[in-house]
Structure 1
Amino acid sequence: MENKVIKKKRMSLKWKWAIGTGVGVLLIFALFSFFVFKIVTDSLYAEEHRDVESTVTQVRSRLQNANEINYKTTDIFRPDLNQKSAVNNNQGGFNDSLLASLTRRDLVVSVYNLEKESVFSNQRISMKTTLSERKSIKRSKFHHKDIIVGQAPIINKDNQVIGYVRVVDLLVKYNNRYQRLIWLFTLTSLLIFMVISIFGYGLTAYLLKPMNLINQSMRNLEEDPQTDLRVPEIDTNDELSDLAHEFNDMIDRMQRYIDQQRQFVEDVSHELRTPVAVVEGHLKMLDRWGKDDPQVLDESIKASLEETQRMKSLVSEMLDLTRADQIEINYADEKTNVVQLVNQVFNDFKMIHPEFNFVMDDDITGEPIVPIYRNHLEQILVILLDNAIKYSKDRKEIHISTANTKKTVEIAVQDFGEGIAEENLKQVFNRFYRIDKARSRDQGGNGLGLSIAKKLTEEYHGNISLESSVGSGSIFRIKLPIIEDQQIEISEK
């Protein structure tokens, strides 16, 4: 049964960011709008409430001089009789605010006599009359809509109840303003959402340009691992420019590793081909006729053992190079006392090679500690000293010098042997490189020692350099960083 890969629908990060920022800002604006809306509507409602209360108070005030409430006493509220009644009673027209209230279409003002019969109303509404001896202003419902109902007894100067007044605010103006506010906030919210989304999309598109360049570089790398294309220089001076820089460095390292691996395989296959061929030749010769000749048998066995030993040494050195790539994982916390180790190696070589004159120039102050595994630093010094001994045939003298600054320590190994030509200085640290291949093979060299020393030094954030001239000898210098805190536990391995 053929498996089908279901590809999920893909949404661009630009759209995700645009919608996300739009929704986020919309929620913030909605919360802000809710509080503003609440404050404004409460203020509008309070204004309507005050109008009802003010109208009730003014009507009661205008009728407090009457002895009873009837059609005649309420003529003052009728626009056509208003001026005439006011003149006859020598009271003048009622104030503008009361007139405004009586002429409002959404404000129903009604006056009742003691029998609770309506004797005046500026508008007619079919609403059940509920009157009491107490003044009250409250919210109610009329035809499923909110209204404000204010009512109070009318009391004359003799403190007697002569009638009732009821003011009904239909909240038409309030509802209109309420709806306009809803539309205003709704349209503003949609506008803000659109503007923020467009802005977010544009900003994300701008910020993702480096990511698109990196993505394209990855595609190019997938098609051709050895491509020279890189992420173009990004001038944003932020995390994305750092990412692009690190990505280019990673590709450079990867391609360098690929080149080194290919070269390594080629070199190893070339180096192993000769000893394998030698051993195979001797074995074939012995198989054909040499096993019956004791002299040939002895020579073949010795030659085979020598080539086997060379292959063993070659494999061991290759393993050293492989382990050097894992220093940060396995030996990241190792520390070594430079003075103690250099003195130990110096004394060991004096004992092993008594025919050589070893000279120590110690200019180190104190006992600096370097962040390197003790065995690895010893291996580096042994490689350099062995190399010095190997190429010192006439003047058997080797100098070891040490010095330090506040931040680094330097170890130099100097011989007075054959020296190296200037055109070969940059190649001596390459794997399997030998200046005189025939002579080096006779001396047992594989051309990996200096490569191992350089690799180990650089993995511990140091550097190794070479100064040499033909006929005058060579000086190898190692520089390693010093650990500032000297109160640490030193590796004793």
Structure 2
Amino acid sequence: MKREAIRRLSLKGKLTVLSAGAIFITYFVFTFLQYHMVKQWLLKEEEKTMEQTVAEIETYYAEKRNVSWEAIRRSRAFLEKLNERYQLIRVTDEKGNVIVSVSNGAAVSLSPSEMPDKRKMDEHFINNERFLLLRQPLHIGQLHGTIEIARRLARFQQVTNTLFLIMTAIGFLAMAASALAGRFVAQSFVRPLQTLAKTMADIKNNGLKRRIDVPPTRDEISELMVMFNGMMDEIERSFAMQRQFVEDASHELRTPLAILQGHLSLLQRWGKHNPEILEESLEAAVKEAERLKRLVLELLDLSRAEAITVPDEIVPMDAAAAVGQVVKNFRVLHPDFQFLIDQPEKPLARMAMAKHHFEQLLFILLDNAVKYSQRMKQIVVSLREEGPFVIVSIRDYGIGIPKEELKNVFLRFYRVDKARSREQGGAGLGLSIAKEIIDKYGGQIVIKSEVGQGTTVELAIPKAKQERGA
């Protein structure tokens, strides 16, 4: 039942109970130890007082000359003066016979006992009252006996009882204070979480614009809020990119579809009876269908690039061999272009990238270089090592890219020269795909370009783990 009741408590209630419990238990343990330490200290003080009294009696008798039992009996006045409240002092001979006895509020009857070998301090209950009994051997010349002090612990008991009552009263106050402190701690902890929950509800009902106001404190809760705001920024940015992507894709699809629809409508109305119009419309329809096919394939490539998961262990790849094979294929596809490979004589370090992804990168970049290099048909592929990376550089001497456009070239569907790109079949997805792939492998892609002079694209691909120490 208790566990079930605790489970039903809110987080705030649980924190209140736990905090209050922890504070009260800490106080209780501290108070308990303090009480017993004070109690022991007071008891030690009582014992010390009794020992000092015995020492004074011994000194008094030792200073006397020709001490006899009669002289000791006549020392009653000294003993009464020395005695304290709730205390009995007596001196006995070696057989236990009482020589002298004085009492000050300690009416107690001590049974005769033999002389002890050494000082003894014991605690006794006599007539339901607590006493400390000190027995000290007495040796003065030929006299041998015992000094006995019985001290009723009434004052000690009174002080400790008062202390216990005070600490108990403070304990109840501490319990109430612990509950208030626990509630405050719980409220301080839960308030930011309530704010977080309220913000989440607002986001659910009113959209992604809402953010949490992060308090100036730099604790774990505020860090959680900062992370939440950052996560929401990323989600909002992702939704915006997705929305933009859908709009751009719709725009790209709309143009060829509109052209197809226009030519098909033309044929349907009267063009099918005119061979010239029929040929022209069919040619345009095939061309736009090819463009649609390329666009769909590029969208598929982009989706695959975004879904790439890089394994922990990547089979190292020879960059020079892969570049040689891809360039060989491009020489066959574009015999009017001159493809040059510039690489050092020393074998390059192997790269940490899947071969088919590297070949896809080369295909995208070489294809772009071919499309935009109609003036000087020469493309140079360079390879080198630089720190922990293998650098693959593709240089063309084409139309170039304006400086103000360079920051946008990795955006989806972005084309520097839209008319020329459309003529050449580009949808503006190639560099986006390349950026996705290179980022997945922890590499970098940098573009340097000058209008009318050409473009250089550099890929920095991490070396394989086995090659980094070489």
TM-score, length of structure 2 as denominator length: 0.72
Q: Which residue of 2 aligns with 1:457?
A: 438
Q: Which residue of 1 aligns with 2:349?
A: 368
Work out the CA distance in 1 between the residues paired with 2:272 and 2:8.
70
Work out the CA distance in 1 between the residues paired with 2:74 and 2:15.
73
Q: CA deviation at 1:129?
A: 4.2
Work out the CA distance in 2 between the residues paired with 1:374 and 1:470.
33
Q: Which amino acid aligns with 2:374?
A: K
Work out the CA distance in 2 between the residues paired with 1:228 and 1:123.
83
User: Is the Cα–Cα contact under 8 Å of residues 17 and 182 in structure 2 kept in the other structure?
Assistant: no
Alignment of 1:272 onto 2:253: yes
Work out the CA distance in 1 between the residues paired with 2:125 and 2:378.
115
Give the direction of change, closer, same or farther, for the CA distance of 1:234–1:289 in structure 2 (3 Å limit): same
Give the direction of change, closer, same or farther, for the CA distance of 1:112–1:423 in structure 2 (3 Å limit): closer
Q: CA deviation at 1:137?
A: 4.6
User: Is the Cα–Cα contact under 8 Å of residues 317 and 355 in structure 2 kept in the other structure?
Assistant: yes
Work out the CA distance in 2 between the residues paired with 1:243 and 1:44.
57
State how 1:19-418 maps to structure 2 within 5 Å.
19=20, 22-23=23-24, 26=27, 29=30, 33=34, 36-37=37-38, 40-41=41-42, 43-47=44-48, 50=51, 65-66=68-69, 74=73, 76-77=75-76, 82=77, 94=78, 98-102=79-83, 104-109=84-89, 120-123=101-104, 127-135=108-116, 137-150=121-134, 167-179=149-161, 221-222=203-204, 224-227=206-209, 246-275=227-256, 310-327=291-308, 329-334=309-314, 335-363=316-344, 366-418=347-399
Instruction: Among all aligned residue pairs of Structure 1 and Structure 2, give the percentage whose two residues are the same amino acid.
Output: 29
User: Is the Cα–Cα contact under 8 Å of residues 17 and 201 in structure 1 kept in the other structure?
Assistant: no
Give the direction of change, closer, same or farther, for the CA distance of 1:339–1:160 in structure 2 (3 Å limit): closer
Work out the CA distance in 2 between the residues paired with 1:307 and 1:332.
42
Q: CA deviation at 1:148?
A: 1.6
Q: CA deviation at 1:201?
A: 9.7
Q: Which amino acid aligns with 1:169?
A: R
Structure 2, unmatched stretches of 5+, are 1-6
Work out the CA distance in 2 between the residues paired with 1:263 and 1:23.
59
Q: Which amino acid aligns with 1:452?
A: I
Give the direction of change, closer, same or farther, for the CA distance of 1:286–1:35 in structure 2 (3 Å limit): farther
Give the direction of change, closer, same or farther, for the CA distance of 1:185–1:367 in structure 2 (3 Å limit): farther
Please, what is the CA RMSD of the aligned residues?
5.4
Q: Which amino acid aligns with 2:336?
A: E
Work out the CA distance in 1 between the residues paired with 2:345 and 2:148.
107
User: Is the Cα–Cα contact under 8 Å of residues 231 and 248 in structure 1 kept in the other structure?
Assistant: no
TM-score, length of structure 1 as denominator length: 0.69
Q: Single out whichever of 286-295 and 33-42 deviates more from structure 2.
A: 286-295
User: Is the Cα–Cα contact under 8 Å of residues 86 and 105 in structure 2 kept in the other structure?
Assistant: no
Give the direction of change, closer, same or farther, for the CA distance of 1:199–1:463 in structure 2 (3 Å limit): farther
Work out the CA distance in 2 between the residues paired with 1:404 and 1:439.
36
Work out the CA distance in 2 between the residues paired with 1:474 and 1:8.
66
State how 1:409-448 maps to structure 2 within 5 Å.
409-437=390-418, 439-448=420-429
Q: CA deviation at 1:356?
A: 1.1
CA offsets, 1:353-383, max 9 Å, x none?
3221001222586523444333222211110
Give the direction of change, closer, same or farther, for the CA distance of 1:13–1:122 in structure 2 (3 Å limit): closer
Give the direction of change, closer, same or farther, for the CA distance of 1:41–1:483 in structure 2 (3 Å limit): farther
Work out the CA distance in 2 between the residues paired with 1:391 and 1:459.
27
Alignment of 1:486 onto 2:436: no
Q: Which amino acid aligns with 2:125?
A: K
Q: Which amino acid aligns with 2:87?
A: L
User: Is the Cα–Cα contact under 8 Å of residues 111 and 166 in structure 1 kept in the other structure?
Assistant: yes
Q: Which residue of 1 aligns with 2:4?
A: none
Q: CA deviation at 1:405?
A: 2.2
CA offsets, 1:154-208, max 9 Å, x none?
99976688xx875321023433554576578779989999999999999999999
CA offsets, 1:358-412, max 9 Å, x none?
0122258652344433322221111010111122234221111233322443322
User: Is the Cα–Cα contact under 8 Å of residues 413 and 429 in structure 2 kept in the other structure?
Assistant: yes
User: Is the Cα–Cα contact under 8 Å of residues 80 and 102 in structure 2 kept in the other structure?
Assistant: no
Per the alignment, in what secondary structure is the counterpart of residue 253 of structure 1? helix
Per the alignment, in what secondary structure is the counterpart of residue 12 of structure 2? coil
Q: Single out whichever of 375-384 and 332-341 deviates more from structure 2.
A: 332-341
Give the direction of change, closer, same or farther, for the CA distance of 1:133–1:28 in structure 2 (3 Å limit): closer
